[in-house]
Amino acid sequence: MYPNAHIKILKRSVNLVPADDSIPSPPRSPSPPPQPPPLPLTLAQRMRQSQSQSQMPTDRPKRRDYGPRRRRESLDALLDGLSSWDLLHIRSRFIDGSVRLDGFAGLSELPPEVFAYIIPHLDLQDVLSCYLVSKDWREAWMQGAVASALCSRFFPGLLELYHNDVPDRNQLFRATAQQYMRKLYVKRSFIAWDVGWSSDIFTNAEDPPASRQLGNLREVNFGFGPLTVHYSSGKLAWQPDNCHVIVDDLYTRERSRFSFGMDFISGRPLQLQAVTDSLVVLATSLPQHQSRHRTTTDNGQTITVFHLQFRQSRNVVLPGKFAHCYAQGDTVAFVTRQGHVIMWGWSDTAYELNVDHEQHFFEREGWESDLGGIPGIVFHPTDTDVVYAAWLHSALQPDPLIHIVVVIKFERGKPVKRFESSISHPEYHRDPTTRYSCPAMRLTLTAQKMDNYGGYALGIVQLVLDRGNAPWADKQAKPYTDWLCVTFNVLTETFLHIKYESRRRPNPAQARHFDLCAWEDQLVISWFDEYLVSQGYSHGLEWLQPVPIGDGPSRCAHTSKVSKSIIRQQVEVEDYMSDHGFGRRIFMDKDFFIATTGQGFMLISFNESMDLPGLATRDENGKVARCKNPPPATEGEDIEPPRMSASWDTRKVTSLVRIALDKFPENQLDQPGW
């Protein structure tokens, strides 16, 4: 079987084959060397492995993975055993970027286009908080494109004010935002009316002529008299009698005094109408009708304008009787009762707005012109040749709209563009069959400046509902959104509606507000009505709280949640004015809040670095005692202010009737308003 016997013997010697002649078994493979334990898989390998296993079909039920939960439990146990210093150290490592999270895109890596979708869902306070998260977050929000989106969202018209030529837009946004959020009344004072040539606070640079001395008459009290007061750009102008107008500068503490006794002697007394940083405007007041109890006066056609710097005066004769005027800088817009609008400038020629252009002044079928067709005028902040005129119209049934605000843009007197915004309510429409009944809508055409970047409050609307015997002020009651401010920005040429809520009920409905003032998102009302006083209702100041309109991108960016400290200070001022003097005329700008009374005016400053005139509340070291009400003013001598003719009434009351929601047009639910 084996031809070579020596080979057989050799194989037996090495035990490769059995001793017998049976078939040999296959040779054994050498045992492998010991292998080291496998390395743990990385996170990416485990993710790929789990993904491949999830794609493989299997009939067995999947086992629940307790790994992440156990890891979280282990981390929680680790964190519980760390001290406060250890936790602060870990937090600092994340903040300075020493610990990075792989696989996630940081905020700094997002393109600016993504921020455009994030910003509309944030409040202004949320954006300012993002700057404080980390260095990377701060750099992400400081990008030029992101800062431009922030300015356009929260401060419309701010970039257009500088013609989009702003080197550092982030710095512009942050400075404006910090000023916007500054609503704490850090300094408060009360200044009494002082009719002297100079007072303890305001100094007249000129020496008083002997013929203009008023004797020892200094501090006065006008009581319930209708004192005429106007304010603009730190200038507070008031008329104590028929022969003088006093202008006090709140910044420089200077006093200017203008006398016009000869006009009063000649039978055409002048009445203060407006003040700017350079002009004082007065209109003639002529007796029209004398009755047994009172004399009804009417404004004439002659206007007298004083220049504060040049100390000169000029007369302007209007084509009709004076109704109202609006002023800015050295430009005045005069509106007559016939609807004429005359633009006049101290260093410019006068011209009339063309209000008969059919292309821009057409009215829809069924519309009615309100307030006698008298418009409100707003100015462009940088272009003196551009003005905007706002008219109020009413819609009749079956039109579900209640009011329409129409704005026309004029360039050197010629109409070039038209805008409009409607006011409606999902539960009410206009009732032309009744008048001055509840429910009703009250609209005041204000046309007043409300910020420093082109915003104007065109109209303020109040919805008056008959709520039975509801109390005048109930702090425990749920607030109702009964106020609406219709704003228009002349730089972006867009409308914006801001809602406000109030706990104070004007019940009965005959009670009307005395004055309104809107600045940014603040709306302040002074309640002083003869019916309120006679019936014993409360009167004084009231701050309304803004509420957002819409969700997401449609939300009003000017509404932010008011802190409790600000609300507490507002209540303190309201109580102070109720105890020491009822507020009548109110004014507000970026530096001051002014509430006038018969004894004087309360002056409040938002600027911490500004030296407030007449500040009497100081501590033992002589430093300003902040956030405290001043002591009441001393009682002055009682005098009666001049009884002048009232300006053109810009308030409109519209009776409403309730309708069923199922009958309300679906497309009308998206209209601006309530």
Tell me the pLDDT tens digit for each residue of 185-212. 678 888 889 888 888 889 988 887 765 5
What is the model's pTM?
Answer: 0.78
CB 616 within 8 A of CB 628: no
Residue 251 has pLDDT above 80, yes or no: yes
Which one, of 376, 372, 367, 371, lies nearest residue 402 by Cα? 367
Arithmetic mean of pLDDT, 383-410 = 88
Name the token pair of 503: 């706990």
Arithmetic mean of pLDDT, 508-519 = 76
Mean pLDDT estimate for the chain: 77
Reported as half-sphere exposure (CB side, CA atoms, 13 A), residue 504 has a value of 22
Q: How many Cβ atoms from other residues are within 10 Å of residue 183's Cβ?
A: 17
| pLDDT winner (highest mean) among 228-237, 437-446, 553-562 | 228-237
pLDDT given for residue 255 in this prediction: 93
For 111, 222, 514, the CA distances from 241, given in Å and listed in that order, are 64, 11, 22
Reported as half-sphere exposure (CB side, CA atoms, 13 A), residue 255 has a value of 21
Name the token pair of 216: 């020892």
Q: Which residues contact 572 (CB under 8 A, 6 or more apart)?
A: 629
Per-residue pLDDT band for 343 (boundaries 50, 70, 90) equals very high
Q: Which of 189-193, 233-237, 511-515 has the lowest mean pLDDT?
A: 511-515
Query: b/e for 637-662, b at 16 or more Cβ within 10 A?
Result: eeeebbebbeebebebebbbeeeeee
Q: How many Cβ atoms from other residues are within 10 Å of residue 38's Cβ?
A: 6
Give the type of residue at 216: N
Per-residue pLDDT band for 380 (boundaries 50, 70, 90) equals very high
> Any bridge partners for residue 424, and if so which?
673
3-state SS assignment for residue 660: coil
Name the token pair of 304: 């007298």
Give the type of residue at 24: P
Distance in angstroms (rounded) separating the CA atoms of residues 643 and 625: 39
Give the type of residue at 359: Q
Q: Which of 468-472, 490-494, 571-575 has the lowest mean pLDDT?
A: 468-472
Distance in angstroms (rounded) separating the CA atoms of residues 341 and 351: 9
Per-residue pLDDT band for 552 (boundaries 50, 70, 90) equals very low
Q: Which residues contact 348 (CB under 8 A, 6 or more apart)?
A: 330, 331, 384
pLDDT given for residue 511 in this prediction: 64
Residue 508 has pLDDT above 70, yes or no: no
Domain boundaries, the chain: 104-181, 182-203+434-600
Q: Which of 53-67, 89-103, 115-129, 615-629 has the lowest mean pLDDT?
A: 53-67
Distance in angstroms (rounded) separating the CA atoms of residues 106 and 104: 6
Per-residue pLDDT band for 220 (boundaries 50, 70, 90) equals confident
Identify the burial level of 586 via C-beta atoms within 10 angstroms of its C-beta, where 0-12 means exposed, 13-18 middle and 19 or more buried: buried
Q: Which of 45-54, 140-149, 161-170 has the lowest mean pLDDT?
A: 45-54
pLDDT given for residue 10 in this prediction: 35
Residue 531 has pLDDT above 70, yes or no: no
Rg (C-alpha) for the chain, rounded Å, is 38
Per-residue pLDDT band for 138 (boundaries 50, 70, 90) equals confident
Name the token pair of 406: 């129409």
Q: Which residues contact 450 (CB under 8 A, 6 or more apart)?
A: 456, 457, 487, 518, 519, 520
Name the token pair of 356: 């008969």
pLDDT given for residue 11 in this prediction: 40
Per-residue pLDDT band for 23 (boundaries 50, 70, 90) equals very low
Distance in angstroms (rounded) separating the CA atoms of residues 127 and 138: 10
Residue labelled with tokens 């005016």 = 601
Residue labelled with tokens 């400081």 = 142
Measured in residues, the chain has a length of 674
DSSP character for 50?
H
CB 280 within 8 A of CB 258: yes
Q: Where are the alpha helices (DSSP H) in 536-654?
A: 564-580
Phi first, then psi, for residue 463 (nearest 5°) are -100, 115
Residue 32 has pLDDT above 80, yes or no: no
Arithmetic mean of pLDDT, 442-462 = 92
CB 173 within 8 A of CB 138: no
Give the type of residue at 200: D
pLDDT given for residue 114 in this prediction: 84
Strand-by-strand arrangement of the 270-275 sheet: 270-275, 279-290, 295-307, 312-317
Give residue-wise pLDDT tens across range 260-299. 877 777 778 888 999 999 999 999 876 655 444 444 456 7
> What whole-number percentage of the chain has pLDDT above 70?
68
Arithmetic mean of pLDDT, 358-372 = 71
Residue 382 has pLDDT above 80, yes or no: yes
3-state SS assignment for residue 378: strand
Residue 237 has pLDDT above 90, yes or no: yes
Q: How many Cβ atoms from other residues are within 10 Å of residue 187's Cβ?
A: 22
